[in-house]
Amino acid sequence: MTKQMLDDRAVADTNVETPLAETTDALPLAVRRARQFAHATGMPFLCVDAETGAVVSSTADDVLAALPDEARIRLPELSNPEVFEFASGLMIGAVPTPEVARRRTVALCYAFSRADAQPDEITLAAAERNWPQERLDRWNKAQVTCTPGILRALLQASVKQADHDDRNTELQSEIDQLANELENTYEEISLLHALTQNLQISRSPLDVAQLCLERIHSRLGCEGNAICIEDRHGNTQILVEGSLPFDESGIARLIARYEVNDWTRPFVRNRINGSLLGADYPRLCNMVIVPICEGPRRFGWIVSCNLSQNAEYGTVEASLLNSVATILGTHMRNIELYEQHGELMLSFVRSLVSTLDAKDPYTRGHSERVALIARRIGEHLELPPDDLNDIYLSGLLHDVGKVGVDDRILRKPSSLSADELSEIAQHPMIGYSILQGIKNLKRIIPGVRSHHEKYDGTGYPDGLREEEIPLMARVLSVADSYDAMASDRPYRAGMPLEEIENTFHRGAGQQWDRKIIDSYFAVREDIQAICDDYSPTDRDIFNEGRCEA
């Protein structure tokens, strides 16, 4: 059989006939195999039941079904391509195909061993289909003429080609699946990487949650997503992206419905229509609920609803949402621990300030005013918020070392002697010793230790001069001096403002940094208002300064 003969017999991939309707659901693999043989050989094929010989499918609409009993009875045991040859000149090529509904099938094709053959088997099959003689003659003339060996070799080659095609199809499917998984993994890693770049403690949980929500919504392609955040006080805030099939109260009821669910993994529900849940939420088709947790601590939930194009939620979507929830939960737990640590440090600072109050009632009011004045000068210097916070906190604690000074000296109603002045001059180093072992307060130590240094180098405890003195201490020195001169003491009255400012003018560049003195004069009215309005009984010294340890 020549290539031209095969090309002349090429059969288009037409609709498949399925005489046995009860087997159609199981046909695809067997039919595809028969089509592969037809494509490889250029000959039409029948797919038949190996037990009964009944036609299951054909690759063309004019294939005659002629299967003598001596060939049919051998079909159940067929394991390799076979050629049945008959004295009439008819040859039937038979190739086993995959089972159909647990029954074996065989693909059959016809060829003639002689060019002038007019097999009785074919004539009988044509008569059963009421073919006229002219059509039968055309059919007989169109059949391939070859030897049994050539037909057998052709069938064997077609089986190898079909196996090769199947393997290629399988490999391509695996490649496509792997590529899809790699794409999903890449997108998930990219999304998670983008999120981890925004997990600074300074970013609020709601800010990070909104970022998570936007990335989830753009990645999943569903109708709506929501993140519910619960704070330590039991208040809940709900962020929504897209359109949800329920309102905020509906989200709360939905989550409450599955409160006792096993939350060690995401909760996925597909095909909700027709269920009890679907009756309560008619617009809900499918969903995923993931808890935002860190260990046993639960901070909220992520809810995703109604994938587009009637798709269903699977492991890819559930894994992504779970990863985002884990990152968000870890961030929220870190913020919670940071806040708790800050609260602990503030409690410590409160204890120190209370200790000072007990030793010297004057000190608390003085320290708080110094903190407020120093912060206002720092604002004029355009220092960043974190530095302003540190200046305020250092102002509160700049005299903490006085806890180590004799109470009799602190409460003495008259002027101090030289020895008493020498003892009280130790308080910056005592304060330094108290705070240097506290990691979270190390950044305020320069103000505590050096606020009595003088710009000309004649101050204490280290005799620093000019820029050697930390900026925090230079600011506190002006604030401390202002309040000390303005305040009444048991042994003297406070100085008038004009005298204070004349002292500042004379001491600029000697006792104090001239730039800081200039900043004082730039905000002098604000500083006067701070002192005039100050009352130690009606303010929270920590919230007033937005203090964060």
**CATH architecture of the domain with residue range 360-544:** Orthogonal Bundle (1.10)
C-alpha 137/C-alpha 131 separation (Å) is: 10
Backbone angles phi, psi at 145, to 5 degrees: -110, 125
Q: Which residues pair with 298 in a beta bridge?
A: 293
User: β-strand 90-100 against 267-269: which pairing, if any?
Assistant: unpaired
User: Can you list the positions of beta strands (E) in 187-286?
Assistant: 222-230, 236-242, 267-269
Using the CB atoms, write b or e for 393-404: b if 16+ within 10 Å: bbbbbbbbbbbe
Going from N- to C-terminal start, the domains of the chain cover 3-168, 198-331, 360-544
If you average pLDDT over every residue of the chain, what do you get?
85
pLDDT tens, 425-469?
899 999 999 888 888 788 999 999 999 999 999 999 999 999 999
- 198-331 fold: Beta-Lactamase (3.30.450)
Q: In whole angstroms, how far apart are CA 153 and each of 83, 109, 117, 158, 195?
A: 10, 14, 22, 9, 62
Q: Which of the residue ranges 135-144, 417-426, 485-494 would you say has the lowest mean pLDDT?
A: 485-494
More confident residue, 174 or 361: 174
CB 301 within 8 A of CB 332: no
Q: pLDDT at residue 63 above 70?
A: yes
Instruction: Report the range out of 6-20, 94-108, 211-225, 473-487 with the highest average pLDDT.
Output: 473-487
Examine the pLDDT at 7 and tell me if it is beyond 50.
no
pLDDT for residue 9: 35
- DSSP annotation of 258 reads T
Within 13 Å, how many C-alpha atoms sit on residue 345's CB side?
18
Between the CA atoms of 27, 33, 38 and 41, what dihedral angle is there, to the nearest 10 degrees?
-160
Whether the predicted pLDDT of 21 surpasses 60: no
